[in-house]
Structure 1
Amino acid sequence: MSRIGKQPIALPAGVEVELQGDLLKVKGPKGTLEHRIPKSLRV
């Protein structure tokens, strides 16, 4: 894996992240985003 892929991601204030199995949910002041993460990736 590349070195940049190992770096943590800084989240702005007011943003919440929730991981449920392979579903990643991000909630913030501009709305909600849901994305399925492939089994081959580690989050």
Structure 2
Amino acid sequence: NAYLAYYNHRRPHMALGGLAPLEFLAKMQAESVPQSQMY
């Protein structure tokens, strides 16, 4: 369903700081520390 795809993946969400879920995911992945550097 095109509406659900838009709503769940591309529409900006206030809970995510105004980012779309895919944008939020990309931001979190870019800012995360690789597991190999955690220990």
What is the TM-score when the length of structure 1 is the normalising length?
0.20
The structure with the greater share of residues assigned to strand is 1
The structure with the greater share of residues assigned to helix is 2
What is the TM-score when the length of structure 2 is the normalising length?
0.20
Greater gyration radius: 2
